[in-house]
Amino acid sequence: MRILVLQFIPSVRGRRVPRFEPQLATLVSLLERREHSVSLAGFARFELPRIKSALAQGLPQLVYADISAVCADTARRTLEYIERHEFLPIVAGGAFPTVDPDAALSLPGVQAAAVGEPDASLVTYLERIKDPAVGQVVSGVWLRDERGTTRPELPVLVEDLNSLPFAHRDLFDYAEHVRRTAQIEIAIGRGCPQRCAYCLNDRLAKLYTGRGTWVRRRAPGNILAEITHLRQRYPGVRLVRFLDHMFGLDDEWLTHFLTTYTRQCDLPFRCHLRANATPAETIRQLAAAGCQITDVEVISGSNFIREEIFQMDLSNEQIQDLFAWLKEADIRSRAIVYLGAPYESEASLDETRRLLLHIRPDAVDIRPYHPWPGTPARELCREQGWLHARGEERFHLGRGGLDLPVCRPNIVAAFIRRLRAELPVVLDEPWWRRWSIASRTALGQVLQRRRL
């Protein structure tokens, strides 16, 4: 079957869409393994010419819409066009249908919504759809027809992630990504043992209660095999970026992984760390294995917001210790901060500034807080009447999603501008990137002079 995958995903720091996302990319690999012909287009906003072009090039028999939790409006407008002009079956999946399957089924033209991880359910559903004589009820795939809505239970989780094919990358224009960044992105697993209230993980973990192990990690050998494969396929890789927040949250797995990594891979890497679960010894291990950059979610300088509201179980002392150890180990750090969070005040904004000035990360990523659909923090904000009336639209404009009476959006926006001016917002390019950009520029100038 010819399947057109539409990825609805927000634009992040100017990165292009479609954008590599491990679960969607693994689904594409599984579909190709079943000999479906897959084309892909990404949308951060409604773009009619690109929709027409994707339909004309892919000539699909079915559309699969992978919808981020903050892209429902873009998806609605796009699917409305397809429903009116193409009469194609449309299946929705991704975070939005997982959080609100009924709302996904009410999008124009959508006849089925895959809830949760689509590997086990969607591939089977798409096989069955080919033969209308076969019953189409598949675990995890909600259906809507004239008789009403069918809501089957979720399938059990795929526990052996090593059994899945490597994530597909070519359709995401990955050669260009590697050319621009010299990095490859790797997912080491799925799920997370922590329960931050601003994150969807809590909701997903509850959804899968009784359906298998939630936190799953790939075997080190399987990850290293993917890295080797990617280095051969996309020359010029200089850094491996591990995407998962739970990268360092299992000592035994991490030690095994770092030993394997050091033996089999000579590339430096970048990873996420949680300051409430990273002892000094782990930092030393990471440095010895080639860790050069870490991303740490500091989130707020207010203990109250971090611990009571966002349930991060993370103290100021743990944050200060972690950043001090990273400096000692010569590992660069990027601190991620949300401003305009529930219960934010001018005092808590100042606390965040003081903490950042104290820990001095190499870069800060300061984001206006957006209450992500499906999270406990959003529910709190809804109950308190703090959700901004133009929430999703504001997210795409880079503005906060709350309107707090004691800390209005204009105060938060001014504070964000101030902090971004005070602190470094980008990590310096490492020497090999500076060198390669400089040498490419010099070479280009020489060639141009010769042509003249």
Residue numbers of the site for ligand SF4 (CB under 6 A)? 192, 194-196, 199, 201, 245, 274
Q: Which is nearer to ligand SF4, 169 or 274 (CB)?
A: 274
> Cα separation of 104 and 402, whole Å?
24
Q: Which burial class, exposed, middle or buried, applies to 329 when counting CB atoms under 10 A from its CB (0-12, 13-18, 19+)?
A: middle
Q: Least separation, in Å, of the C-beta of 375 and ligand SF4? A: 9
Structure tokens at 170: 């070519």
Q: Least separation, in Å, of the C-beta of 163 and ligand SF4? A: 23
Which residues, including other chains, have CB under 8 Å from residue 426's CB and lie 6 or more apart?
363
Which residues, including other chains, have CB under 8 Å from residue 111's CB and lie 6 or more apart?
89, 90, 91, 105, 143, 144, 145
> Cα separation of 69 and 372, whole Å?
7
Q: Which is nearer to ligand SF4, 164 or 377 (CB)?
A: 377
Q: Which of 366, 382, 378 is nearest to 421 (CA)?
A: 366
Structure tokens at 41: 């287009």
Residue 406 has a CB neighbour count (10 Å cut-off) of 10
Q: Which is nearer to ligand SF4, 194 or 348 (CB)?
A: 194
Residue type, 302: S
Q: Least separation, in Å, of the C-beta of 28 and ligand SF4? A: 23
Q: Which is nearer to ligand SF4, 194 or 316 (CB)?
A: 194
Bridge partner residues of 36 (DSSP): none
Q: Least separation, in Å, of the C-beta of 95 and ligand SF4? A: 13
CB 376 within 8 A of CB 197: yes
Q: Which is nearer to ligand SF4, 168 or 218 (CB)?
A: 218
Q: Least separation, in Å, of the C-beta of 201 and ligand SF4? A: 4
Q: Which is nearer to ligand SF4, 164 or 196 (CB)?
A: 196
Q: Least separation, in Å, of the C-beta of 67 and ligand SF4? A: 20
C-alpha pair distances (Å), 434 with each of 13, 108, 426, 437: 20, 48, 14, 5
